[in-house]
């Protein structure tokens, strides 16, 4: 653990019990509207604690063919919910591999 406690950020998000485990120092929740005909798949991911974690996972998943956007509902230190929006089906195994490459674990999906 890096020992830095995050109590807020420029977006007004707060997590009073947060101690960053990955070295990043910003909380984040990403959200992008998706077209009505888009494919939306949801995954639960363990281990994310801050905005840096969100960025790492988002970057890895976004690099996959067909992924249009990644929306993360960060639950610092718990299980975070990720929605992958795509125009074509993206294999769950590819999502799992991307999350693993970022250093985290998919617990469902």
At 38-53, the pLDDT tens digits run 899 999 999 999 999 9
Q: Write the CATH number for 36.
A: 3.30.70.100
For 56-68, what is each residue's pLDDT tens digit?
999 999 999 999 9
Q: What band does 37 get if pLDDT is binned at 50, 70 and 90?
A: confident
Q: CB–CB of 58/106 below 8 Å?
A: no
Question: What is the per-residue pLDDT for 22?
Answer: 54
Question: What is the per-residue pLDDT for 39?
Answer: 93
Higher pLDDT among residues 77 and 15, named by residue: 77
Higher pLDDT among residues 89 and 3, named by residue: 89
Residue 75 CB-density burial (10 A; 0-12 exposed, 13-18 middle, 19+ buried): middle
Q: How far is CA 104 from the centre of its chain?
A: 10
Instruction: Examine residue 8 and state whether it is found in any structural domain, yes or no.
Output: no
- In angstroms, the CA 99 to CA 8 distance is 26
Classify the C-alpha dihedral 43-74-60-45 as positive or negative. Answer: negative
Instruction: Examine residue 13 and state whether it is found in any structural domain, yes or no.
Output: no
Question: What is the per-residue pLDDT for 14?
Answer: 40
* Domain containing residue 75: 26-108
Instruction: Examine residue 41 and state whether it is found in any structural domain, yes or no.
Output: yes
Instruction: Examine residue 51 and state whether it is found in any structural domain, yes or no.
Output: yes
Question: What is the per-residue pLDDT for 1?
Answer: 35
Q: Rounded to two decimals, what is the model's pTM?
A: 0.68
Instruction: Name the domain count of the chain.
Output: 1
């Amino acid at each position: 653990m890096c020992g830095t406690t995050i109590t807020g950020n420029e977006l007004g998000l707060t997590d009073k019990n947060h101690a960053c485990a990955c070295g990043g120092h910003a909380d984040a929740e990403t959200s992008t509207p998706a077209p009505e005909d888009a494919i939306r798949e949801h995954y639960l991911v363990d281990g994310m604690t801050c905005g840096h974690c969100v960025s790492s996972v988002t970057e890895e998943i976004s690099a996959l063919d067909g992924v249009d956007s990644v929306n993360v509902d960060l639950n610092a230190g718990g299980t975070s919910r990720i929605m992958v929006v795509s125009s074509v089906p993206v294999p769950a195994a590819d999502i799992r591999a991307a999350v693993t490459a970022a250093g985290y674990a998919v617990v469902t999906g």
